[in-house]
Amino acid sequence: MKKEKKVKVITILTVLCGIFTFISVFSSYLPQLFLFYKYNINVKDAGSVGIIGGADGPTAVFLSGRLPFQFFTAVFGVLTILGVIYIFNVKDKKDRT
């Protein structure tokens, strides 16, 4: 009974990691493709620098760029693959008995 519950939890977590991987891949590449084809803008070179300052106050510099989504995609992808391997191994052992 406990093993079946463990397999169900791992299956749910594997599906969630797969969904997060799918969303992460498409949220990082589709907007770039859309902007490139629609407005001919290369997103890899995009960024902005904003300088706010006055004569009597401190100066603030704001930088913006891309977040490293590839790291999150890789982590969720590896977790998904490991979960699928585990589920298939458990299913294969269950079929043998």
Q: In b/e form, how buried is each residue of 5-16, taking b as 16+ CB within 10 angstroms? A: eeeeebeeebee
pTM as predicted: 0.60
Q: How many independent structural domains does the chain possess?
A: 1
User: pLDDT band at residue 93, thresholds of 50, 70 and 90?
Assistant: confident
Residue 63 located in a structural domain? no
55 lies in some domain: no
How confident is the model over 24-56, as pLDDT tens digits?
888 777 777 777 777 776 666 666 656 666 666
**% pLDDT > 70, the chain:** 67
Domain that holds residue 80: 2-43+70-96
Q: Is the pLDDT of residue 88 over 70?
A: yes
Is the pLDDT reported for residue 12 higher than 80?
A: yes
In a domain, 82, yes or no: yes
**Any domain includes 9:** yes
Nearest in space to 15 (alpha carbons), one of 95, 72, 76: 76
